[in-house]
Every structure is written in C-alpha cells, then in structure tokens.
C-alpha cells in the first residue's frame, strides 16, 4: 500500500503503540463499520501471541516459585547440624542444587522466548495498526466526500429557500394589491359575495385570524 509506505510507517516510527486488541478505543473504531476479514484474521494472530506471552510469563513465575522453594529447603537442611551431616540430607541438598540450576536455565530460556515473543507481538500489532489506519483513512475519505455533497445540497436548498421566500412575499403583496383594487372598485358588497363564495376562512389575505380589510358581513338569505 503506497499510502502505508509513504505516510503511516514513518508516522509510527518511535511511537508507543498500544496493544490494539486490548484497547477499547480500537474496538470502538468498528462500531459503525464491520471489521474486514483481513483485520479479523490479523487480530486473531495477535491474540494468539498474547496468550503465548501470558503462558511464558506464568511459566517464569512458576520456575521462580519452585526455585525459591528449593532454596528454602537447602537453607533449612543446613540449619540443622545433625541433618546436615546425614547422607540423606546431603543427597537432598545436591538434588535441590541441581534442580535450582535447571530452574535457572529454564528461567533464562523462557525469558529469551518472552523477549522474542514481545518482538513478534510488536511486529504483528504494528501490522494490525497499519490495516486499521488504512480502513480509517478510507472511511474518512468517503465521509468527507459525502459531507461535501451534503453541504452543497444544503447551500442549494438555502438559495432555493430564499428564492421561494421572495416569491411568496411577492405573491402575497400582489394578492393584497388585487384585493385592495377590487375592494375600491366594486365595493364591500361585491367583495362580500366573493369572500363567501370562496370561503372567507381560507382567504389567503388573512393573517393571524384577521382580514386585511374589515367590512361588515351580511348573512345569506
């Protein structure tokens, strides 16, 4: 991915990237967009490595506990003069020392494996980060295009709204002029007939329940 090579990778250099699958904010990125199969697969790879890392850490703790237990037994045997001279006690001490050396070897080897695992986790987590950034950029780009289209539509509607407001005002003013002219020429009696015929309640010249021109209404015979 060209953008990944040119932008994302340099941007991530020296950054402390959180473990994404353990980060709630990362999961929230996909609340409105489903994870792609590529991202799902990569997240599974990362989770498996985290499980192995957890097991290695627990193994080191177990080896250290066993080592401490063996050392305590040696100290206990050395603290009792009679038992320290006993052949069985000496044998037990030798066995414990051997087991302690084995524990040390296992601790060293497991710590090396743990360091290697941390490096692998960083590498796979970085891959997942690059995939996520690529998806986020794509969504942002699509949203930006939609925003531009919506903004254009809104601006067009504003212009159209202003035009329609002007048209409405012009027609209302023209209706008022016509109504005034008819009232002056034909008089209130003819206008009354006109109003009754066209339902005065629907008269567009009324505003807030009041007619623009007051005249006495005569009931129909």
pLDDT tens per residue, range 29-78: 888 778 889 999 999 999 999 999 999 999 999 999 999 999 988 888 77
**pLDDT tens, position by position, 139-150:** 889 999 999 999
Question: Above 60 in pLDDT, residue 88?
Answer: yes
Total structural domains in the chain?
2
Beta carbons of 124 and 49 less than 8 angstroms apart: yes
Phi first, then psi: give them for residue 207, nearest 5 degrees: -135, 120
| pTM summary value | 0.64
Neighbouring CB atoms inside 10 A of 100's CB total 18
Q: Which domain holds residue 183?
A: 166-211
Q: Identify whether 115 is part of a domain.
A: yes
- On whether both 147 and 201 belong to a single domain, the answer is no
- On whether both 37 and 123 belong to a single domain, the answer is yes
Question: Above 60 in pLDDT, residue 119?
Answer: yes
Question: Is 206 strand, coil or helix?
Answer: strand
Q: Identify whether 12 is part of a domain.
A: no
Residues 6+ apart with CB under 8 A from 43: 20, 21, 35, 128
From residue 2, give the alpha-carbon distance in Å to each of 6, 126, 134: 6, 16, 11
Q: Identify whether 50 is part of a domain.
A: yes
The reported pLDDT for the residue numbered 210 is 44
**pLDDT tens, position by position, 156-201:** 999 999 999 999 999 989 988 887 888 788 777 777 776 655 444 4
- On whether both 190 and 148 belong to a single domain, the answer is no
Q: Identify whether 217 is part of a domain.
A: no
Question: Is 94 strand, coil or helix?
Answer: helix
CA distance 33 to 203: 54
Q: Identify whether 80 is part of a domain.
A: yes
More confident site: 62 or 208 = 62
High-pLDDT (> 90) share of the chain, % = 47
Q: Identify whether 181 is part of a domain.
A: yes
The reported pLDDT for the residue numbered 118 is 94
């Amino acid at each position: 991915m060209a953008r990944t090579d040119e932008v994302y990778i340099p941007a991530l250099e020296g950054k402390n990237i959180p473990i994404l699958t353990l980060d709630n904010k990362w999961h929230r990125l996909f609340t409105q967009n489903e994870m792609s199969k590529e991202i799902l697969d990569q997240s599974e790879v990362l989770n498996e490595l985290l499980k192995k890392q957890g097991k290695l850490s627990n193994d080191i703790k177990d080896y250290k506990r066993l080592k401490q237990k063996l050392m305590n037994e040696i100290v206990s045997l050395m603290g009792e003069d009679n038992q320290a001279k006993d052949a069985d006690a000496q044998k037990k001490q030798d066995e414990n020392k051997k087991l302690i050396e084995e524990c040390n070897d296992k601790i060293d080897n497991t710590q090396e494996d743990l360091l290697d695992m941390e490096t692998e986790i960083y590498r796979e987590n970085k891959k997942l980060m690059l995939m996520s950034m690529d998806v986020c950029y794509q969504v942002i780009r699509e949203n930006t295009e939609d925003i531009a289209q919506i903004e254009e539509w809104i601006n067009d509607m504003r212009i159209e709204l202003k035009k329609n407001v002007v048209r409405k005002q012009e027609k209302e003013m023209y209706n008022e002029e016509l109504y005034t002219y008819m009232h002056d020429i034909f008089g209130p009696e003819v206008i009354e007939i006109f109003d009754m015929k066209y339902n005065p309640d629907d008269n567009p010249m009324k505003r807030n329940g009041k007619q623009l021109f007051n005249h006495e209404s005569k009931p129909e015979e």
